[in-house]
Amino acid sequence: MSGATYDTGMLIALERRKQRALAVHEWLGEEGIRVTAPWVVVAEFWRGRTERRDAILRSIDIEAPSLQLAKNAGHALAIVERATIVDAIVMASAALRGDVVYTSDVDDLGVLQRHFPGVRLLAV
């Protein structure tokens, strides 16, 4: 695994101290695996400042928007019915790096796997 990308559900699971999410996050840190979340995931996750939210965001890299990311996500939206912009950005982001995506909603992101076949999804 080259890296890991988190979607909003993973950040919420960490905030709620879900055992599987905490274990995965700790393991990734111990292994020195880079963890990224696209900026749009932060926008969906953020509901005001708390110590817990701040700590979660400090423990990962936040990916800024880029033209290539926007194009890749937009292309996926044109091809994949029912895809949402945030999910398309998460998958496009992971595809750019060859990351695994950790998510609480494998079904929603799964519809995008046809367009991003190299991205593996793991449930938390």
CATH code of residue 68: 3.40.50.1010
Distance CA 113, CA 120 (A): 8
As for how many domains the chain has, the answer is 1
Q: Is the dihedral of CA 121, 82, 11, 63 positive or negative?
A: positive
User: pLDDT at position 6, please?
Assistant: 98
Residue 62: which domain range? 4-123
Q: Which residues of the chain have pLDDT under 50?
A: none
User: pLDDT at position 2, please?
Assistant: 87
Tokens of 98: 């060859």
